[in-house]
Amino acid sequence: MPDDTTWRHEEPSEDLTAPWSPPPSPDDRVWRHPTELAPPWSPQPDQGSFAAAVSTMAPRQAPLRSTIFVALGSGLAGAVFVVAILGAIGALDTSKQGRDIVVREQVSEPTLSLPASDKAPAGDVVAIAAQVSPAIVRMKITSPVPSSGSGVLFRDNGYLLTNAHVVKGAKTLFAVLADGTEIEGSIVGQDPETDIAVVKLSRDEPFATATLGTAVGLKVGQPAVAIGSPLGLIGGSSVSTGVVSALGRRVDSDEGSPLLDMIQTDAAIAPGSSGGALLDQNGSVIGITTAIAVSQVGAEGLGFATPIDIARSVADQIIATGKAEHVWLGIEGADVDAESARKASIPGGARIERVVRDSPAHAAGLAKQDIIIAIDDKPVTSMSALVLSLRDRHPGQEITLTYLRADKRSTISVELGKRPKNL
């Protein structure tokens, strides 16, 4: 670019038909060609060329040694300067520090006006924010260690969804509504495997609620809106926009079991937004924001949300029984690749790569390389779709699987089991 160089090309202003004459000697000129100037850098040994010299000027980048995934909910104790908070975010290390940055201040006047029942026009972020924000609360955990997170009201009698790591170990907790009202809540139940928890507010008055949608049918690239209460900041919830950047992600964490089938988004999700809502372009909740990707150089701009289908299933079980039970088929696998799907004339499927011994799948006769293409006659186009379909079932339920084995289509009945604790 001209501003980055010591010389620039200019169109000649003289008559090009005039006879050519050599340029005056350097001592008689106020300009110099770059070849007449000493370079501001010195070439490396055995690198005398211009390209080699330029390469020595390129900034060295620190190697990216690892990528860690940090859940966003639990916080740092005490009041700290905001500048120190922001400086700490890029250096989070789940093995050494807390999972959230907390500013313990009261929420000020609400910034919202429209009730949640008003349906937002598709893609109108302003309307979506006004529609959903009244159903987003800030979670204040007062003991044993002060922390903050977010929550989503999904039943008007005071039930809300949040992350298990947000309320883990909490003895007292409060939900701060959009208008600044604080209401004490109690933990109904939590499921570390999906990082989902349900909290019941102490009041039964009608609350604004968010509309729960579905993660089934999501497409990479479609718009996404994230709403939460980052860093415990006052003034109500925060809104960011982006797209669904990947589906079916596995996110390893320091909490034990990996999080499966996560929705990845580039909509900004800051610490403290754990338990908030990831929305589609219609304002329906498609996920509960759970984690961010962090490396040695700082936040990578990727967030992860638990699909709302999983969160809703877990929440319904917790409200009914106080706990969540997960069905078990007993297979491991991957999506069918495009070439195999084309040859088999199928839109997709879940290829079995391992069958666990003494599992329901093993007892039913499923084998490695079988391709599951339907559950109870409903198409299955990926491993994620298979897992999501199983989430709606319960242990002891019998299902019918349609699968391909050596290009031959077959059906089989399988009685689902309860997932062992060691898996």
Q: pLDDT tens across 257-294, in order? A: 678 788 999 888 877 788 999 999 999 999 999 888 76
Question: Is 213 in the same domain as 104?
Answer: yes
Question: Is 71 in the same domain as 197?
Answer: yes
For the chain, the average pLDDT equals 74
Give the model's pLDDT for residue 128.
Answer: 92
Final residue in a domain of this structure, among 324, 342, 376: 324
In the chain, what percentage of residues exceed pLDDT 70?
Answer: 66
Question: Is 320 in the same domain as 343?
Answer: no
406 vs 48, which has greater pLDDT? 406
Determine how many CB atoms are found less than 10 A away from the CB of residue 287: 29
Asked if the model's pLDDT at residue 40 lies above 90, the reply is no
In a domain, 181, yes or no: yes
Mean pLDDT is highest, among 128-132, 228-232, 388-392, for 128-132
Final residue in a domain of this structure, among 266, 296, 324: 324
Question: Is 265 in the same domain as 197?
Answer: yes
In a domain, 39, yes or no: no
157 vs 252, which has greater pLDDT? 157
State the total domains in the chain. 2
Question: Is 368 in the same domain as 318?
Answer: no
What CATH number has the domain bearing residue 204?
2.40.10.120
In a domain, 236, yes or no: yes
382 neighbors 350 (Cβ within 8 angstroms)? yes
381 neighbors 294 (Cβ within 8 angstroms)? no
Question: Is 124 in the same domain as 240?
Answer: yes
What angle separates helix 383-391 from helix 308-321, to the nearest 10 degrees? 20
* DSSP codes, 118-154: SPPPTT-HHHHHHHHGGGEEEEEEEESS-EEEEEEEE
Q: What is the mean pLDDT of residues 7-29?
A: 48
Asked if the model's pLDDT at residue 29 lies above 70, the reply is no
In a domain, 18, yes or no: no
Question: Is 239 in the same domain as 338?
Answer: no
Question: Is 265 in the same domain as 216?
Answer: yes
> For residue 296, what are the domain limits?
67-324
Model confidence at 299, in pLDDT bands (50, 70, 90)? low
Instruction: Give this prediction's pTM.
Output: 0.61
Asked if the model's pLDDT at residue 78 lies above 90, the reply is no
Question: Is 292 in the same domain as 408?
Answer: no
324 neighbors 194 (Cβ within 8 angstroms)? yes
Asked if the model's pLDDT at residue 171 lies above 80, the reply is yes
Give the model's pLDDT for residue 122.
Answer: 60
CA pair distance 263, 267, nearest whole angstrom: 11
Final residue in a domain of this structure, among 324, 340, 358: 324
Catalytic residue annotation: 165, 195, 274
